[in-house]
Amino acid sequence: MFDLDLWKEILSALKKNRLRSFMTAFGVFWGIFMLIIMSGAGKALENGVMDGISSFASNSAFFWTDRTSVPYKGFQRGRRWLYNNSDIEVFKSKVKELEYLSPRLFGPRDFQGENTIRGEKTGAFNIYGDYPDYFKIDPWVPVKGRLMNEIDAFQSRKICIIGERVEELMFEPDEGPIGQYLKISGVYFQVVGVMHPTTRINIGGGRKEETIIVPFTTMQRAFNYGDQIHFFSLTSEKGTPVSVVEEKMKKIIKERHDIAPDDNQAISSFNIETEFIKYTGLFTGIQVLTWIVGIGTLLAGVIGVSNIMLVIIKERTQEIGIQRAIGATPYTIILHIVAESVFLTVLAGYIGLALGVGLLELLNMALEANAGSNDDVFFRRPEISFTMAMAALSVLVVSGVIAGLIPARRAIKIKPIDALRDEGI
């Protein structure tokens, strides 16, 4: 029920003490403002980092090889070993939970010197031999031409897909790279596409934009790798944790390559799922911390309101006495005080909320304008969820009621006669 007199009463009481009302409200305002800003900043950090990795298959794992550390079946420790083509079929048939399995060969690396030549231009890039399935684990998008397909791999076509930086270095700006040839370690490959990485997770090192990918089968033949495989990327089926697949794989690999069951060094693997869990945990932690600090600040503000209400009541003891002498019930008195407190808290809180969201919005606009298409931004889209804003508002209302109730209970405990006798200040 809207009671005009109640509101008149509240406003006149607050107006009478402008500075004090303002200072009190500021405490609450600041609390909610900080909560919003901190939470928004935390979310922005999360967005910035997660944007860089989120399209990467989170159920993926990677295998490569290292020297053995335990002598086994007549082999000495320190033996070098490699995967081979026959592993592919065995893994696929024995590990049913596999979704994609993509073998890779590391061709010439950028740190090994300039490996790519086109006319007078030369460059040092990372050359990988991959299957089309690799793009399902680490997604890239074609900016020109196309990505690799099954026929490229099946026919061992001498084609390549290049990163944006490769195009920049090896071609003139107005020159279309598609259909042109690059000489990679002495072998000519036709460029069929220019690609752009969608994530910053980088398998194999170096700059992602300086990558050239050729079909796996082509690389095996052209660079004389025989049936060697350097590296496996894989994903697990939906519902199966990739760590399960990882363990199964290790067991099979050890059997097939004569590696001691207790040798933990020979098989190197990396599981992106655990990294994702770490990140998720980190950001949950940041949000929790934000709330703890935010609620703490808010609490300080609310205690401020309660404190001020106590002073107001002390000052108005006589007034309350008069009101009770002329027939105000305790309920009316409590209603007034609580309404005053809630009004002050909610108004201040709402302004804090609005300004906080406004500032985040401005920050967002500034960030977007600056960032453009640059991907190396670890801070983007600061925002707070609607649920969170609502939660903050309800915390405010509840705290406003409590902040008012404590002094109000004190106010009605004073006998009217004591209140009247009170000389005031």
Partner 1 sequence: MLSLNNVHKSYITGSNSLHVLKGINLDVNQGEFVSIMGSSGSGKSTLLNILGILDSYEQGEYKLNGTLVKDMSEKKAAKFRNELVGFVFQSFNLISFKNAMENVALPLYYKGVGRKKRNKIAMEYLEKLGLAEWAEHMPNELSGGQKQRVAIARSLISKPKMILADEPTGALDTSTSYEVMEILKEINAEGITVIIVTHEHDIAAMTQKIIRLKDGVISEIIKNGDLQSFKHQYMKELETA
In terms of DSSP H, where are the helices of 128-232?
134-137, 150-154, 164-170, 216-222
- Compute the distance between CA of residue 108 and CA of residue 105 in angstroms, rounded to an integer: 10
B/e letters for 82-97, b = 16+ CB within 10 Å, e = fewer, are ebeeebbeebeeebeb
CB of 309 to partner 1, least distance (A): 17
Q: Is 132 in the site for partner 1 (CB under 8 A)?
A: no
Of 150, 145, 151, the C-alpha closest to 166 is 145
Per CB under 8 A, the segment of 54-62, 80-88, 220-228, 314-322 that binds partner 1 is 314-322
Measured over the CA atoms of residue 311, residue 315, residue 316 and residue 321, the dihedral's sign is positive
User: Any idea what DSSP says for residue 111?
Assistant: G
Q: Which of 112, 155, 264, 329 binds partner 1 (CB under 8 A)?
A: 329
Contacts of 254 (CB under 8 A, 6+ apart): 260, 261, 263, 266, 267
Q: How many residues bind partner 1 (CB under 8 A)?
A: 24
Q: Are 321 and 420 spatial neighbours (Cβ–Cβ below 8 Å)?
A: yes
Q: Of 12 and 93, which CB lies nearer to partner 1 in the complex structure?
A: 12
Residues 396-415 that bind partner 1 (CB under 8 A): 412, 415
Interacting residue with partner 1 among 104, 324, 336, 380 (CB under 8 A):
324
Query: Among 50, 147, 260, 328, which residue interacts with partner 1 (rule: CB under 8 A)?
Result: 328
Nearer to partner 1, 8 or 67 (CB): 8
Residue 19 interacting with partner 1 (CB under 8 A)? no
Secondary structure letter of residue 188 according to DSSP: E
Position 332 contacts partner 1 (CB under 8 A): yes
**Which listed residue (50, 311, 359, 420) binds partner 1 by CB under 8 A?**
420
**Residue 205: how many other CB atoms lie within 10 Å:** 11
**CB of 142 or CB of 416, closer to partner 1:** 416
Q: Which is nearer to partner 1, 258 or 319 (CB)?
A: 319
Confirm or reject binding of residue 275 to partner 1 (CB under 8 A): no
Q: Which of 322, 346, 377, 401 binds partner 1 (CB under 8 A)?
A: 322
Place of tokens 């405990």: 413
Q: Determine the longest span between alpha carbons in the chain, in angstroms.
A: 105
Distance CA 188, CA 178 (A): 14
What is the DSSP-derived secondary structure letter of residue 212? Answer: E
Name the one residue in this structure whose structure tokens are 């919003």.
36
Instruction: List the one residue from 1, 326, 369, 425 that touches partner 1 (CB under 8 A).
Output: 326
From the CB of 287, what's the least distance to partner 1, in Å? 45
**Is there binding between residue 12 and partner 1 (CB under 8 A)?**
yes
Query: Is the sign of the CA dihedral 351, 357, 360, 364 positive or negative?
Result: negative
Q: What angle in degrees, to the nearest 10, is found between the helix axes of 242-256 and 272-315?
A: 160
Using CB under 8 A as the binding rule, whether residue 118 contacts partner 1 is answered as no
Query: Given candidates 1, 2, 93, 331, which one binds partner 1 under the rule CB under 8 A?
Result: 331
- For partner 1, the closer of residues 9 and 375 by Cβ is 9
Among 325, 362, 366, 390, binds partner 1 (CB under 8 A): 325
- Give the shortest CB-414-to-partner 1 separation in angstroms: 11
Positions in the binding site for partner 1 (CB under 8 A): 4-5, 12-13, 16, 318-319, 321-332, 412, 415-417, 420
